[in-house]
Amino acid sequence: MNKIKIFFRKYWLFILLATLVTILALFYFIQKEISPQKETNLLSLTKPEIKNFSTITPNLNELEKNFSSFSKTLEVYQVDKTLITDQQAVKIAQNFNFKENPSVTNYIQGPLYSWASSQANLTIYLEEGRLQYTENQSLAEGEPPAFKEAEDKLQEILKEKELLPPEKINTEISQENFYFSNGTDFIKTNPDNPQKSFTFIEFIYKINNFRIDGLETPLISVYFANNLQIVRFDFSKIFEKVDSLNFYPLKTKDEIIKNLKENPRISFLKDIKSFYQENLISGEKVPDLQSLSFNKIEIIYYKNIGKQTSLQPVFLITGTAVLKDGTQAEAGLYLPAIKDRYLLK
């Protein structure tokens, strides 16, 4: 026992240093084992096609106080085929029982295909990847279907018409409401209103538990009348092919706040009092603002309008604005979430 004590007394410093080295080595190898792929191996990405506009300096007090906690990295996806080809348009029309050739119109966003019968109309916007199908709502009488019945029917329609999204993307209910019609517009109402004639169901797309969004949010929605008659069906196509590209590091809170202070800007201003919440930014002209305050930040995957090769996470920063004329609006900014060194200029 005395020999052991003498040994420890004589070599305690060496034993302590060896122990520390062993602990540090273990910690290094554990960290190396669980860390993601080296950032140096990541490919540069094209920036999402986001149109932002210079604005007044925002108040960031609430945003900084309630800043959400985010993962340090998120997955980026390689995507393909966001448009509807002419062959696909014809196939979709056949699935809606239109057998004849379409009427073709060229408009500012590209070709528009349309079909019409005495009972229904179908319009497909090829370059935008969306369609609208309507049936004669004068046939709609009686009690509209319950929400669950309408949800199941919408899923059935997507499967029957071959409009389901690819495997990595899923749909989620974002709205369920009852409506009645005044002849030209659908008007939202409560479940107890005897005037209610239509059940409205809206699906959004999600990937990696985040919604896919953008200036024109890709949606699927339908108005059902009695006996599950489709009165109106709107569909935005999502990608045909989705492959995992890699995990990329996200901007930190300090980087985001610094960015907002040094380069104040907005992507949209929505009129919160209007039914359709129109964007108050017209063309390149932003209304004069009296005040702007950002108070919320979340992550979405950004959907460009038109062609797209990668699906990236983007910060959606929202708040309130007051125009010089007193109009109140929802203000929003889309900010690329991937660190700038991985985004092409």
**pLDDT, position 108:** 78
For 166-184, what is the mean pLDDT? 91
**pLDDT, position 292:** 97
Q: Are the C-beta atoms of 122 and 95 separated by less than 8 Å?
A: no
Per-residue pLDDT tens for 266-323?
Answer: 999 999 887 667 888 988 889 999 999 999 999 999 998 778 899 999 999 999 999 9
For the chain, what's the residue count? 345
**pLDDT, position 184:** 76
Answer yes or no: is pLDDT of 211 > 70. yes
* DSSP per-residue letters across 230-252: EEEEEEE---SEEEEEEEEEBPP
For 315-342, what is the mean pLDDT? 96
- Tell me the C-alpha distance between 199 and 146, whole Å: 7
Q: Which residues contact 212 (CB under 8 A, 6 or more apart)?
A: 169, 204, 205, 206, 218, 238, 300, 301, 302, 303, 311
Answer yes or no: is pLDDT of 37 > 60. no
Task: List the beta strands (DSSP E) in 51-208.
Answer: 53-54, 73-80, 103-107, 110-116, 120-125, 130-135, 170-181, 186-189, 198-207
Per-residue pLDDT tens for 4-21?
Answer: 455 445 555 555 555 654
Answer yes or no: is pLDDT of 41 > 90. no
Per-residue pLDDT tens for 239-249?
Answer: 999 999 999 99
Place of tokens 């610094």: 258
**pLDDT, position 141:** 73
Sheet hosting strand 241-249, strand order edge to edge: 241-249, 73-80, 310-311
- Tell me the C-alpha distance between 102 and 90, whole Å: 8
Q: What is the domain partition of the chain in residue ranges?
A: 39-79+244-342, 82-239
- Tell me the C-alpha distance between 241 and 239, whole Å: 6
Signed CA dihedral, 106, 111, 112, 113: sign only: positive
- Tell me the C-alpha distance between 117 and 72, whole Å: 54
Answer yes or no: is pLDDT of 26 > 80. no
The candidate with the shortest Cα–Cα distance to 90, out of 108, 76, 102, is 102
Strand partners, 311: 77
**pLDDT, position 9:** 53
> Is 82-239 a CATH 3.30.310 domain?
yes
Per-residue pLDDT tens for 113-164?
Answer: 999 998 999 999 998 899 999 998 665 678 899 999 999 999 999 999 999 9
Between 338 and 83, where is the model more confident? 338
**pLDDT, position 34:** 38
Per-residue pLDDT tens for 57-95?
Answer: 999 999 999 898 999 999 999 998 878 999 999 999 999
**pLDDT, position 305:** 79
- Tell me the C-alpha distance between 153 and 222, whole Å: 10
**pLDDT, position 277:** 78
